[in-house]
Amino acid sequence: MRLTPGPARDIDLDAVDLFDLDLYTAGDPHPVWDLMRARAPLHHQVLPDGREFWSLTRYEDVCRVLGDHREFTSERGTVPTHLGQDDVAAGVLLTSTDPPRHTEVRRPLGSKLTARAVRSWEDSIRRTVVRFLEPALDGEVFDLAERALLLPAIVTGPLLGIPDKDWAELVQLTAMVTAPSDPHFQLGSEAATLAIAHHELVTYVTDWVKRRRASGEQDDSLLHHLMSVRPGGAPLSDEEIALDGYSILLGANVTTPHTVSGTVQALIERPEQFDKAQADPTLIPNLVEEGLRWTSAACNFMRYAVTDVPIAGGV
């Protein structure tokens, strides 16, 4: 996807397919979104198989939908791939759960990921990233986009409590979930790829939990912390921990690689910005924050309206 919005041009919104992955991987959706915000802030699309959805593109409307779980629920799925078929993990998987349960599970986890809480890991993470970059520093051919797929596991694996011997396999499985049609990750059909990846990831975390329960071993990892969370006063079941652990793995592995490669691409295209950061290292923290915003792999979220709701001039 183009990182910089392209020039305005004539676009027939009735002919635009917002469900077409090529629009986001190789196309330029920015002019489409601009036109939707200006002319069709509530845009309706019907897919060839009869499924339909509405798109909101204005900031205020998006904030309203994402902030009001009483009118717009997460519990039927939150990504477009769930369209027309409810999420089987609804009400259990953290991302497909509404408050108060969502808050009761997320808040304790969030406390483990604050800047203060993660600070104790800073030196270890820094050493890990330096080792990750060593082949490039030595002058070897270094495919950053390819190698960055493993970076989240290298950094977050210890935080999650996952041994390094399993990182490469888990990265492959999460890639199969997010890109089941990509020839690099596909095993058989797209549906088969998804089924295999889902099964293997959930089984991995389930087995991890069972081993920890049997051994009584304790640590400060996120997965172990899930074992102590008690939404509604009751502990999470092994299945619930497995699904939430799966969600955390997926979230870590599908965003960071694109941020790394996308930020580097943006700096290559704008060498004057790279020169500024190289001359003044104090700019790097802001550069990282801007890179996170500029290259976000998440460009859409899905919610289901609980009932007819007036919004953006329509219902």
**Average pLDDT, integer, range 24-40:** 86
The more confident residue out of 14 and 159 is 14
Lowest-confidence pick of 92-101, 110-119, 267-276: 110-119
CA distance 114 to 314: 40
Instruction: Return the pLDDT at 4.
Output: 55
Share of the chain above pLDDT 70, in %: 97
Q: Do the beta carbons of residue 211 and residue 192 sit within 8 Å? A: no
pLDDT in tens, 288-313: 999 988 887 778 889 999 999 999 88
Q: How confident is the model at residue 315 (pLDDT cuts 50, 70, 90)?
A: low
Distance set, CA 105 to CA 92, 100, 161, 185, 216 (Å): 10, 9, 18, 31, 22
The SS3 assignment for 257 reads: helix
Residues in the chain: 315
Residue given tokens 């792999």 in the structure block:
297
Q: How confident is the model at residue 264 (pLDDT cuts 50, 70, 90)?
A: very high
Q: How confident is the model at residue 67 (pLDDT cuts 50, 70, 90)?
A: very high
pLDDT in tens, 271-288: 999 999 999 999 999 999
Compute the Cα dihedral for 75, 81, 85, 87 and give only its sign: negative
**Average pLDDT, integer, range 198-205:** 88
Q: Does domain 112-299 have CATH number 3.40.50.1000?
A: no
Q: How confident is the model at residue 93 (pLDDT cuts 50, 70, 90)?
A: confident
Q: Do the beta carbons of residue 201 and residue 208 sit within 8 Å? A: no
The DSSP secondary structure of 57-81, one letter per residue, reads: -SHHHHHHHHH-TTTEESTT-SSGG
Residue 156 CB-density burial (10 A; 0-12 exposed, 13-18 middle, 19+ buried): buried
Instruction: Return the pLDDT at 7.
Output: 56
Checking if the pLDDT of 3 tops 80, the result is: no
What rounded mean pLDDT belongs to the chain?
85
Residue given tokens 């935080």 in the structure block:
159
Instruction: Return the pLDDT at 310.
Output: 92
